[in-house]
Amino acid sequence: MFTAKRIQFVALLFLVWNFAFSKDINIPKPVGPIPSENQMRWQEMERYAFVHFSVNTYTDMSWGFGDENPSIFNPAKLDCRQWARVCKEAGMKGIIVTAKHHSGFCLWPSKYTEYSVKNSPWKNGKGDIVRELSEACKEYGLKLGIYLSPWDRNYAGYGKPEYITYFRNQLKELLTNYGDIFEIWFDGANGGTGYYGGARESRKIDRKTYYDWKNTYKMIRKLQPKIVIWNDGGDRADLRWVGTEAGCVGETNWSLLNATGDVSEKMLRNGLENGDSWVAGEVNTSIRPEWFYHPSEDKKVKSLSQLMDLYYNSIGRNATMLLNFPIDKDGLIHPTDEKAGIEFEKAIKEAFAVNLVEKKKAIASNVRDNNLDFSPQNAIDKDGNTYWATDDHVNVASLTIDFGKPTLFNRFLVQEYIRLGQRVKSFNVQALVAGKWKIIAQATTIGYKRILRFPSVKATQIKLNIIDSKACPLISNIGVYNAPQILMAPQIIRKQSGEIVITPVDNESVVYYTLDGSNPTIKSARYFRPVPTNGKVEVKAIAYDALTKKMSPINQENFDIPRKEWKILGISDEKVYDVLDGRASTAWHQPQNIKLPADLVIDLGRICTLTGFRYLPDQGLWNPGIITHYQFYVSEDNVNWTLASDGEFSNIKNNPLWQTKIFDTLKARYIKLRALQNTEGNDNVGYAELDVITSK
């Protein structure tokens, strides 16, 4: 009940308050480059999808060569509404389609080429996938983006000035006929070789000058004023690639770069603290290992824990997330990918369902001009346009929130008001546990959004300490959550001895496994120590947490013949056996004095019936010494060699995965992998693993 006295007291408080805080609003000055409206709109989308579809979907290749016959393109059940529905249900805000990939084949009936859907059997050449997708996106409230490969392996004039006119004509078609386009994607990949109208040769272009990006950008911005431009190959644009397709950006992530000058891999990963332009990072990765649909990857769709890692390592590190769904031969997103995408969205919703600091009390060590407009309460008011700010030159400050009761949590989310520049260089989070402040997490940059993960902690208060900042910090949002546990599938390797080693990702869970292809349960064999095996074997394993009774997804590895008797010939360095140790994390490199072509020769110890081989490049940071072009020879006597396979490992630079090459059955006791070229244009050749495929 309000008594008269109480009302008087409140009125008095109101007056004093007004007096104390009735100064002019002293809005902080921007610091460094700031995002444009287009970049802001794009950043707030947070996640959107890629769809990869082209003629190479039908040849099972990563890249089309440009000579694939359009008659192979016949997606009998193509349904862009299914793509849009799945993407929407997976929480995506838009879809970027490979209107033209490196093969040069166009998913729309471009009037500038015959190499398109118009010469395919699909809809008797009357179809237009870009049109169907733009309509489906509208129906589902999604934005449309376009991937147009600058490299065109079909076009006869590629490499000559005439191609630039062709490229711009195609761009014009795409940017005028399909409504608003939110993002345009210019892939920097260029492997050189191609069909090129029948020339079948290698063509080199100067990535810096050939495309004349400056004028192309002008045209794009005129046609689509609200677009953002992604370009990893040429002139800096609005967004940057983060240097990897593995699904993460650096933990330190500045949304800045310099507008001119070379960009190193490190700059792509971390941005540039004092860069002169706003060029935020976009993490692009696929829900499967590869970008295009390959039936052999049906069991390799990312697990929920992998997808959640992706979320935290992209959106949780101040980047956006561009997640690819390959389109299968029928013209649909595969049901396994659909299920994974929808579960992913559900798990994100669950993790961030309850913000435990909402409606709590926040206090700060400093409030700008003691003005309520900059109150710490602004950081927990659900309004991204209000923020807690400190006085100018107060770059070290803290904000404390009282839960009011012991509260369990394991995630901390924080956002800067980036419209006035990215500022924070370093911060940590403390929790008041049983009366004592304990540091539970520390990190560097924040930017648009930063999410930290840590083991669950029960505390009564939480404190954000800004340790270093370019200028007064501006914090627009804080969230504290208790995300449900997601168990990760254990890792499985086979050592050269043939022993299977299974390792859970955390130390709370136990492992169960099978060797007969059946799905493991808690009734299967429990893993305690390495398991000896002989011959081909299919291993499946799960991790199980007895406390929560949760079970991880199944991990499955198929191993070919054991490599026990294998000897690597002509190399005395014992480290060379890292190539056969089953561990992706160890690698061996050819000695520095070896020039390309470089050979690795292995004696398999007995005659085997080979049908293929597999190569895993060095998985170390920056993946050094990746082979791009190879020859693979076999021999029965180490004297007479037969060429079993030769060619390129397409897209291996950006996606350094296991490369599998199949050939006609050959008997051999010796194998030789000859490296012809690497990604760096030098003689560095590395191998994490080498294996063979034998006939059944």
Binding site for ligand FUL (CB under 6 A): 62-63, 187, 189, 284, 291, 651, 654
d(CA 303, CA 487): 10
d(CA 532, CA 530): 7
In the complex, minimum distance from the CB of residue 311 to ligand FUL, in angstroms, rounded to a whole number: 19
Least distance (Å) between residue 248 CB and ligand FUL = 15
Considering the complex, state which of residue 63 and residue 83 has its C-beta at the smaller distance from ligand FUL.
Answer: 63
**Residue that has been written with the tokens 């330190």 in this structure:** 252
Residue placing its CB nearer to ligand FUL in the complex, 95 or 364: 95
50 or 630, CB closer to ligand FUL?
Answer: 50
Amino acid code (one letter) for 503: T
Give the residue with the Cβ less far from ligand FUL, 121 or 188: 188
Least separation in angstroms between CB 502 and ligand FUL: 32
Distance CA 289, CA 581 (A): 22
How far is 216 from 237, CA to CA, in rounded Å?
A: 11
Give the nearer residue to ligand FUL in terms of CB position, either 287 or 379.
Answer: 287
One-letter amino acid of 572: S
Per residue, what are the HEC states of 268-295? Answer: HHHCCCCCCEECEEEEEEECCCCCCCCH
Beta-carbon count within 10 A of 517 CB: 11
How many residues are present in the chain? 696
Closer CB to ligand FUL, 81 or 207, in the complex: 207
- 91 SS3 class: coil
Between residues 247 and 520, which has the closer beta carbon with respect to ligand FUL?
247
Q: Cα separation of 2 and 8, whole Å?
A: 10
Cβ atoms 17, 373 nearer than 8 A? no
Cβ nearer to ligand FUL, comparing 305 with 654: 654
Q: What whole-number distance in Å separates Cα of residue 411 and Cα of residue 451?
A: 7
Residue 274 dihedral angles phi and psi, to the nearest 5°: -115, 30
Measured from the CB of residue 585, what is the shortest distance to ligand FUL in angstroms?
Answer: 24
Position of tokens 């924040």?
A: 446
* HSE (side-chain half, CA atoms, 13 Å) at 550: 13
For the chain, how many helices (H) and strands (E)?
9, 35
Report the nearest approach of ligand FUL to the CB of residue 224 (Å). Answer: 21
In the complex, least distance from residue 291 CB atom to ligand FUL, rounded to whole angstroms? 4
- Of residues 284 and 313, the one with the C-beta less far from ligand FUL: 284
Residue closer to ligand FUL, measured from CB, 378 or 659:
659
Our CB check for ligand FUL shows the closer of 253 and 651 to be 651
Which amino acid is residue 695, in one-letter code? S
Question: Using an 8 Å Cβ cutoff, are 543 and 522 in contact?
Answer: no
Cβ distance to ligand FUL smaller for residue 326 or 490: 326
Query: Which residue's CB comes closest to ligand FUL?
Result: 189
CB of 328: closest distance to ligand FUL in angstroms?
16
In 3D, which of 673, 676, 695 has the Cα closest to residue 602? 673
The first and second tokens of residue 166, run together, are 């062709």
Work out how close the CB of 38 gets to ligand FUL at its nearest, in angstroms, rounded to a whole number. Answer: 22
What is the closest distance, in whole angstroms, from the C-beta atom of residue 655 to ligand FUL in the complex?
7
- From the CB of 271, what's the least distance to ligand FUL, in Å? 20
Give the rounded distance of the alpha carbon of 258 from its chain centre.
Answer: 23
Give me the amino acid identity at 263: V
Residue with tokens 């409030």: 367
Q: Are 133 and 83 in contact (CB under 8 A)?
A: yes
CB 156, min distance to ligand FUL, A: 21
Name the minimum Å distance from CB 661 to ligand FUL: 18
Other C-beta atoms lying within 10 Å of the C-beta of residue 547:
8
- Cβ atoms within 10 Å, residue 121: 15
Nearest to 528 by CA among 570, 562, 500, 553: 500
